Amino acid sequence: MSSEKRIKILKQVCVGCGLCVNVCPFGAISMKNKKANIDYDKCNFCSACVESCKFNAIELKTIERKYDHTAYKDVWVFCEQKKGVIQSVAYELLGEGRKLASKLNCKLGAVLLGEDIKKGANELFARGADIVYIVDSPHLKYYQDDTYTKVLVELINEYKPEIVLCGATTIGRSLISRVAIKINTGLTADCTSLDIDKEKKLLLQTRPAFGGNIMATIITPNHRPQMSTVRHKVMQEAAVDKNRKGTLIEKKYSDEILSTRTKLIDVVEEMEETVNLAEADIIVSGGRGVGGPENFNIIRELALVLGGAVGASRSAVDADWIPYSHQVGQTGKTVCPKIYIACGISGQIQHLIGMQSSKIIVAINKDPDAPIFKIATYGIIGDLFEVVPALTKKFKQVLNK
C-alpha cells in the first residue's frame, strides 16, 4: 500500500482570479477559458495553490493505492556481448544475482541478445544462471538503442522478472534507462552494493551520492521490476561450474519489433597499444600534474612496459589531454586492477570512487598532503617527470632479464 497526492481544480467553483497562477513556484498553473488549469507534468504537489485560493476551488487529496507484485518473480541479468563475446561485467552481475536469488528463493535468469549467440548459453549456465533467455537475430548483431530496448521490454512484459540488473557500461546506461521508462518503473544507476530486505522483498540499491560524500540506499517499493545498473569491477565474478545445466528459452520477434529508426553504417573502435582499461590488471593513470597531452607519453611508456592500461583523472580528460574512454572515477570507469599507479593525481573523492578497490595503489605526487596518499599502499613524494621515467627504465631492465 502506498499513498499518492492528487490536486484537482473544481471548475464549478473557480472564478478565474489568477491568484494560484501567481503563487505556483513551478509554473504548473495557467488560465484556460477563464478557469485555472494544471499541468501535472510540472506540478510538484507543494499545495501553495491550495493555500492561496480564497474560494476553496482547489483540492489536494491523498489517494491510497495498492500494488500487486505477486506476478513478478526471479532475478534477471542483462548479459552484454560484443562481437559474440560475453563481457566480464555479465559474470560479475551473475555472481551478485545468484546471492540475491538465493535470498529471495527464486531463479536466476540471464538475457542474451545478438546474432549466432546460442553457444553463449552454456557459459551463462556455468556461471550460475538457471534460465537463459536468448533472442538471436541479425538485427541484434550490434547494439542499437531502438531494437535492444523493444526486445528487452517484450521479454520483461511477458516473463515479469522481480529484479533486473545491468552493467553500468556505455551500452548498459543507454539501454536500461530507456527500458525503465517504457515499462514505467524505477531505476537506480551506478550501484556499488546490492542486498535484499527479506521481509518486504525489496532490493536495497546502494550508490554514491552528493559527489561521493555519502552512500545512499535506494528502494523501489511500488513498481516492478526493480532495476539497477551496477558498476563494473566492484563485484566478484561468478565461479565457473561447467557441470551446471539450466533451461534455455529462445524467442523470436517480428520485424516490427526488430526494426529501428536509425541505420548502423560502421563501428569504429579506438586503437590502443595498451590493454583495455576495464579489464587491465595494471593501470597507470595521469592527472592534472602531468601538465599537458604530450606528457602522457611517459604514462603510456610505463603502462606499455608493465603490460597495463592507461587511465586518467577527469581534469586531464576535461582539458582534452586524453580521450574520455580513459577516465577513471565517478563519471568515468570503475576499475579494480591488481596494481594502480596514480601519477600527478591529487585524489579527489570523485576519482577515488573509481579506483579505491584496487589491490595495490601506488601514488606519485610532489605534494605530501595530497589526499591520494591517504589510501595509497605505497607513496612516492617526488616529481613524476623524474620518478616515472626512472620506474620505466628499471622495469625494462628487470623484465628483459
Among residues 131, 127, 133, the alpha carbon closest in space to that of 94 is found at 127
Residues of the chain with pLDDT under 50: none
The per-residue pLDDT for 211 is 62
Go through the domains of the chain in sequence order and give each one's CATH number.
2-65 (3.30.70.20), 75-258 (3.40.50.620), 277-399 (3.40.50.1220)
The per-residue pLDDT for 274 is 52
Question: Which residue type does 112 have?
Answer: L
The per-residue pLDDT for 1 is 52
The per-residue pLDDT for 272 is 56
The per-residue pLDDT for 137 is 94
pTM: 0.72
The per-residue pLDDT for 66 is 73
The per-residue pLDDT for 6 is 78
The per-residue pLDDT for 65 is 66
The per-residue pLDDT for 270 is 61
